[in-house]
Amino acid sequence: MSKTIHILNGPNLNLLGRRQPEIYGHDTLDDVAARCAALGSELGLATQLFQSNHEGEIVDMIHRARDEAAGIIINPAAYTHTSVAILDALHTFEGPVLEVHISNVHQREGFRHHSYVSLRADGVIAGFGTQGYELALRRMATLLG
């Protein structure tokens, strides 16, 4: 049976493709979900993608992943830079955690340079556009061997 990877997305990413496309590109989150599902089946991984605009719901998603997922790929969006609650939740998860940012956060405003989530993440991808999710999935396959 293939291992399941949860791909969690934070606020405003429901608007991906329509939101500041000059920064985040034209792909939608549904496009990302479809491409990750296709790549996952090549890699022997099942993927499930979730999105929420609410911090507590993202904490609940991480708790659910404790029972249902072998690994987490997370783009916490703006909560990356603010949320101790999401960091604490990720500390309760035992499998690999990979952090993805579509844009190169280090090229942007100073407040985007710090990530609470990076204190737990096993790897970080930033600035590869939505392809970053697929690169993280390939890394996940390696980590889960």
Residue 133 bears catalytic tag:
no
Query: x/- string (CB under 6 A) for ligand DQA, residues 66-105?
Result: ---------x-xx-x--------------------xxx-x
Query: x/- string (CB under 6 A) for ligand DQA, residues 12-51?
Result: x---------------------------------------
CB of 31 to ligand DQA, least distance (A): 15
Q: Is 6 in the site for ligand DQA (CB under 6 A)?
A: no
Going 75 to 80 to 83 to 88, the CA torsion angle's sign is: positive
Q: Which of 97, 101, 96, 132 is nearest to 114 (CA)?
A: 101
CB of 51 to ligand DQA, least distance (A): 11
Hey, how many other C-beta atoms are within 10 angstroms of the C-beta on 124? 16
Catalytic residue selected from 6, 79, 101, 133: 101
Tell me the sheet residues that pair with 7: 49, 73
Which residues fall within 8 angstroms of residue 10, CB to CB, at 6 or more apart? 51, 52, 53, 58, 74, 75, 76, 77, 78, 79, 80
d(CA 132, CA 121): 15
Catalytic sites, residue numbers: 24, 101
Question: Which residues sit at the interface with ligand DQA, rule CB under 6 A?
Answer: 12, 75, 77-78, 80, 101-103, 105, 112
